[in-house]
Copies of this chain bind each other. A is one copy, B any other.
Amino acid sequence: MPETIGFIGLGLMGKPMALNLLKAGHSLVVNSRSQGPVEELVSAGAARADTPEQMARQVTRLITMVPDSPDVELVLDGPHGAFRALQPGTIVIDMSSIAPAAARRLAARARSHGGVMLDAPVSGGDIGAKNGTLSIMVGGDAQAFATVRPILDVLGNPERVVHVGAEGAGQLCKLCNQMVIGGTLVAVAEALALARKAGVDAGKVREALLGGFAQSRVLEVHGARALAGTYVPGFKTALYAKDLNNVMSTLAEHSLPAPVTAVVQQLLHATMAAGRGDDDNSVMAQTVFDLAGLH
């Protein structure tokens, strides 16, 4: 019989993920800052825990899906955090996107409390969360990964659930993902800006480029959004900015120069400064268009 799972963080991503676990037959205990989604999950059959600590007493599989490193630290290692009551052998799966250094630190803390912790950030957005087709990048103990793999396969596309390496490797992989998306997005935006500025049909340029070596999912999906000027999330720029801050701190940790990523960071600051944090992260293309005097 599927295990009872604790689930902390019922936001834009967490709520549909938790619902998918219920649908797959798991018992759920849920906790979240906002009570609306908690009520919704309780109506759908989940139990409620008032604090992560109370939740930890009732489960040996615990998923966290919250915004950033300090949030994960609070729900796991804070005053009413899950670590205070961790059952022996509990596997904590943090699916938030946080700094790899924080993930390694928390994994060590989980171990000291008799548990094991995997970092398992996702890619694929709210649509992937709803459809259970997320990509999941996992770092941590291979045995624990094998144990919870059926749970991850409910949440993600099983072909895209990848054990990348040791503790923190999942988060590091996610940062690589965000670096590639950012650089590709700005390059695409600069190219589309050139087409527009030169009076060439940018839609036809996008179409022509999709047939060759310049093809990417970013050109396909974000390119279409940029040309339509429609930046409905999707994935909010403010959350992408959070990820890119984690990229920059991790690059600094390793003394790694990444000049294109550094430029992406500057354009992202400009995008946030223009008040576009709630738009889909493809809105960075609009910042490039603005720079070019295109509207």
Contacts and interface: CB of A to CB of B under 8 A. Distances in A.
A278 interface: no
B194 A183 contact: no
A190 interface: yes
Contacts of A194: 172, 175-176, 179, 250-251, 254, 256, 258
A191 B180 contact: yes
A183 B184 contact: yes
Contacts of A251: 194
Interface stretch (A22-30, A49-57, A214-222): A214-222
Interface stretch (A60-68, A77-85, A144-152, A259-267): A259-267
A261 B163 CA distance: 34
Given A190-B179, A198-B250, A216-B217, A291 B257 contact: yes
B209 A292 contact: no
B197 A187 contact: no
Nearest to A176: B191
Given A160-B212, A172-B198, A200-B173, A183 B258 contact: no
B205 A176 contact: yes
A123 B208 CA distance: 10
Contacts of A183: 183-184, 186-188, 190, 260
Interface string A152-190: 000001011011110011001101110111111011101
10 contacts: A160-B212, A165-B204, A169-B200, A175-B191, A177-B212, A180-B209, A183-B184, A184-B216, A190-B259, A213-B218
Given A125-B213, A163-B204, A213-B218, 15 more contacts: A137-B208, A160-B208, A162-B207, A165-B201, A168-B198, A172-B198, A173-B205, A180-B187, A183-B183, A184-B187, A193-B256, A197-B256, A257-B291, A257-B292, A260-B263
